[in-house]
Structure 1
Amino acid sequence: MTAEPTESTSETPRKAVKGEPLLAADGHDLPEGIYKMYPSSHGIPVADWETDFDHADPAYNKNAHEIWDELRDKCPVAHSERYGGTWLPTKHSDVRDIAYDTDNFTSRQVVVVNGRVDPGLSPVGQGPPITSDPPFHKHARKLLLSQFRPNKIDPWEDEIRNICRQRLDDLGEIKPGETVIDAATQYAQHIPPAVISRMLGFPPEDDDKFRYFIHNVLENIDAPVEQKVAFAKEFNGYLDERIEDHRQNPRDDLTSYLLSAEIGGQPLPHETVRGAILLLLVAGIDTTWSAIGASIWHLAQNPADVERLRKDPDVMIFALEEFLRAYAPVTMARLVAKDVEVGGCPMKEEDFVLLPFPAANRDPEFIDNADKFIIDREENRHAAFGLGIHRCLGSNLARLELKVAIEEFVDRFADFELADPDAVKWSLGQIRGPRELPIRIL
């Protein structure tokens, strides 16, 4: 069956999440680029994943695979009235069809929050090219794609390997059987910020700021309006400072490249430069550290796979893709551009649609043994990097970081296990990965 929006018999939670949006014209100080906000659903537990799901509920990412499997069997397109109305398809075919349909679904907002981005920002959006619609999308993507081709990314391998080794060195003395490390906060979460900051030419000491920014953009999605306004000003202010520094002191990095780039013979407006950098920070950090963390989480419970990687390094070619398929971190979103029906569900203009690429990867109608991790799986047409025009342009970098991070961890520690499975803490929101990952070194 497919879910349709229904009135709830539970008055209290439904009143809390339903209602007319707060319009900017009403005098509310809304975040930059947002023209209306919906009432918060923070703290209201999910009543039913079919009709009241919430990707910010702590139970969602922790149990995502089970939730998607159940929905796929019972209600492949779920609906929730939270966030002003949101849909969640779980079958690969529906996710694929929506991702490729740029007529009925706009990319001007790819993160589901309580507000709606001003339609006047289209077709560029706040973080081009991922928030851009055709025809501008093609030009914005081409601009960045040239900087993420293999010939640009491969030379970074030695630097990435050095970053990983330094993080492992910083763990200090290891006593086998006794030492417990947090493979998320002490390892995985340091690698992508260090890499992207060097590529952008930002100060290495700002890596901790990136973690703070990422949390507010992708996890603190249900924060009060005043907090969102303050954070948007802080983030934009930081980026403005870094851009101005590059204007005054050009160098050979991604930021200076964007400042010298042109579209249609015209220099990029400041807002486009800032938006592209915002995209690189947000899309290039949390996604990759989540993939690294989830891969280590898997290996900590599957010593046979660790041994296979150690004895047969060539299997990494297949293992890398299987890590990406089985533990894909990224769910993107679209806004319904005009009323449309998908899977028998009447989606209305301005509704959100989540595109859970990890759920699509685990659809048994799409791939055999979808719920099993097969380290040497040869046929693996996964959607970890998305589908359609917005397929991740940084996939070469993400693959390299994931590969090196796993290799160095396995090389450093002969044996390891989850210190306490119940102590693993998963993220909130659209990027799925462990935020706390206690690992005992054996």
Structure 2
Amino acid sequence: MTVDDRFAAGADALRADPALSTFSEVVTGPVTDWATDFSHTAEEWAQDAIGIWDDLRQRCPIAHTERFGGAWLPTRYEDVAAVAYDTEHFSSRAIIASNVRPPRSLAPVGTAPPISSDPPFHHDARTLLLPAFTRTAVSRYEESTRAFCHSLVDALAGRDVVDAAADYAQHVPVRVMADLLGFPPEDGPRFRHFVENALEGIDLPPEERLARSSHLFEYLLVQIRDHLEHPREDLTGHLLQAELYGRRLEPAHVAGTMALLLIAGIDTTWSAIGASLWHLAGHPDDRRRLVAEPELRATAVEEFLRAYAPVTMARLVTEDLTWRGVQMKAEDWVLLSFPAANRDPARFERADEVLVDRQVNRHAAFGLGIHRCVGSHLARMELRVALDVWLDRVPEFTLADPDAVRWSTGQIRGPRTLPVRIG
């Protein structure tokens, strides 16, 4: 078998054999009660998730639904943290809750290591990525990121109303991730398509979701082949040369990690940038303060990450158990809503307020436990630079039509449509 054949086989393995996966009936329709029938794919969730979390935290801190084959939603910080740290009872082999459960045989590696990996494999897979995401390594991309953000603002010249999400926020991590992985920057529109397929098509029939995932891995195979034929120093090249336990990484491991970086590294960051701009467009006092006091922006970035944390991760219950008073069944999903945890008044003072000068801010935007985001330094850099350039170049902007703002559904929450008026 050639190297190319091995990687093609590895990509096929990641799609999960339908005969081994477990499929649940797709349940759609309006939510009847968020405590007993929640759906993070509902439009009401997209538009008012914060209000839903607050309501559930008070009357039903651990919500349940029969959708997706059974799922739970803790909304208190202490409960979210408890699940995140308990790798014995909650597996990470699949982190996107849907109507498809990949086979248990994928553990401990999972489909997208290390985020889908369980101990002890997780530690070693994560260690391979750490050098690429140190502060020093990330700093190499700051100048080019800043220049790219300026070029995006240049392209807005002469327009009174722009879409701050589609015209600005969504482009920044696409370019950074293309540079990091060594992918053609002109493939950006394809990246956005991959993200939507992976994260927003949860209610599609399982066979369609599996078919759509093939497009991503076909693309990754092309990039792997190109790197094998034309070796170069980027993160893809690093993964192809990396060794674990004395041998090169398995093809499925390489392709899965590339998929993780491409999907998670893009949507999470563009959502954080977009949510920050949405806040500033609707809160002129905060906007004016950050324009006048640029030294406060780093603190504001942490507060935006707390208040508008984009990421909810999923776990699978490993065995039937009673947990915090509820009866969980093996293979139930548990959604770890880090955004809900960050809004818990038992953890944060004035949790429902956005304080751009908040000094004590140990938020969970990047997760908790062993799976805390390995790319947090990169995400912070992108968010800080994107806001710096925008505020310096576009100091006056407001929401052009608040009702036209559209937030994403699914486990990554951020504005997809954000019309703002400049000047």
Structure 1 distance, partners of 2:235, 2:77, is 35
Q: Hey, what's the Cα distance between the residues in 2 that align with 1:52 and 1:285?
A: 30
CA distance in 1, matches of 2:291, 2:55: 36
1:64 has 2:38 as partner: no
Cα pair 1:31 1:225 within 8 Å, conserved: no
Instruction: Give, as a single letter, the amino acid of the residue that structure 2 aligns with 1:254.
Output: L
Tell me the C-alpha RMSD between the 2 structures: 1.1
Structure-1 residue corresponding to 2:67: 82
Does structure 1 retain, via aligned residues, the 8 Å contact 2:99–2:206?
A: no
What code does the residue aligned with 2:73 have? L
SS at match of 1:315: helix
Give the whole-Å Cα distance in 2 for the aligned partners of 1:38 and 1:186. 37
Tell me how far 1:234 sits from its aligned partner.
1.5
Rounded Cα–Cα distance in structure 2 between residues aligned with 1:239 and 1:386:
27
Between the aligned partners of 2:299 and 2:386, the Cα distance in structure 1 is 16
Q: CA separation in 2, counterparts of 1:233 and 1:326?
A: 35
**2:263 aligns to what?**
282
1:212 deviates by: 0.1
* Aligned counterpart for 2:145 among listed residues 115, 135, 160: 160
Return the offset for 1:32: 3.0
SS in 1 for 2:162: strand
Moved more, 108-117 or 313-322: 313-322
Which of 23, 44, 47 aligns to 2:32? It is 47
Question: Does structure 1 retain, via aligned residues, the 8 Å contact 2:197–2:213?
Answer: no
Tell me which amino acid in the other structure corresponds to 1:301.
G
- Answer yes or no: is 1:109 the counterpart of 2:57: no
8 Å contact kept, 1:104–1:339: no
Cα drift, residue 31 of structure 1: 5.5
Among candidates 352, 358, 362, match of residue 371 of structure 1: 352
Contact 1:240 1:274 survives alignment (8 Å): yes
Give 1:426's aligned residue. Answer: 407
State the shift of 1:173 in Å: 1.4
Matches within 5 A, 1:369-408: 369-408=350-389
- Give the counterpart of 2:303 among 322, 340, 343: 322
Q: How does 1:335-346 map to 2 (within 5 A)?
A: 335-346=316-327
Q: Which residue of 2 aligns with 1:201?
A: 182
Pairwise mapping of residues 20-419 of structure 1 onto structure 2 (< 5 A)? 32-34=16-18, 35-42=21-28, 44-174=29-159, 179-419=160-400
- The alpha-carbon deviation at position 306 of structure 1 amounts to 1.4
Deviation at 1:342, TM superposition (A): 2.4
Which range is displaced more, 337-346 or 350-359? Answer: 337-346
Q: Deviations over 1:206-262 (max 9, x none)?
A: 110000000000001111233223212221111011001101111010000000000
Contact 1:31 1:228 in 2 (8 A): no
The alignment of Structure 1 onto Structure 2 pairs a total of residues equal to 408
- Aligned AA (2:16): E
Measure, in 2, the Cα distance between the counterparts of 1:229 and 1:97.
Answer: 32
SS in 1 for 2:97: coil
SS in 1 for 2:273: helix
Deviation at 1:84, TM superposition (A): 0.3
Question: Is contact 2:35–2:60 with CA below 8 Å preserved after alignment?
Answer: yes
Alpha-carbon deviation of 1:172?
3.3
CA contact (8 A) 1:94 1:342 kept: no
Do the aligned partners of 2:53 and 2:75 also contact (CA within 8 Å) in 1? yes
Q: Closer, same or farther in 2 for the Cα pair 1:37/1:324, shift >3 Å?
A: same
Counterpart contact for 1:32–1:232, Cα < 8 Å: no
Partner Cα separation in structure 2 for residue 145 and residue 202 of structure 1: 20
Which residue type is aligned with residue 396 of structure 2? D
In 1, Cα distance between equivalents of 2:129 and 2:175:
20
Equivalent-residue separation in structure 1 for 2:377 and 2:152 (angstroms):
22
Q: CA deviation at 1:39?
A: 1.1
- 1:40-88: per-residue Cα shift (whole Å, max 9, x none)? 123x111110000000001102101100000000000000000000000
After TM superposition, the structure 1 stretch with the greater mean CA deviation from structure 2, 163-172 or 221-230, is 221-230
Q: Find the aligned partners of 1:320 and 1:131 in 2 and give their Cα distance.
A: 28
Q: 2:298 touches 2:384 (CA, 8 Å); kept in 1?
A: no
3-state SS, counterpart of residue 47 of structure 1: coil
Contact 1:326 1:362 (C-alpha < 8 Å) held by counterparts = yes
The answer to whether the 8 A contact 2:77-2:347 is kept is yes
Gaps of 5+ in 2: 1-13
Given that residues 424 and 438 in structure 1 are in contact (C-alpha distance below 8 angstroms), is that contact kept between their aligned partners in structure 2?
yes
CA contact (8 A) 1:100 1:387 kept: yes
Shift of 1:309: 1.1
Compute the displacement of 1:359 (Å).
0.4
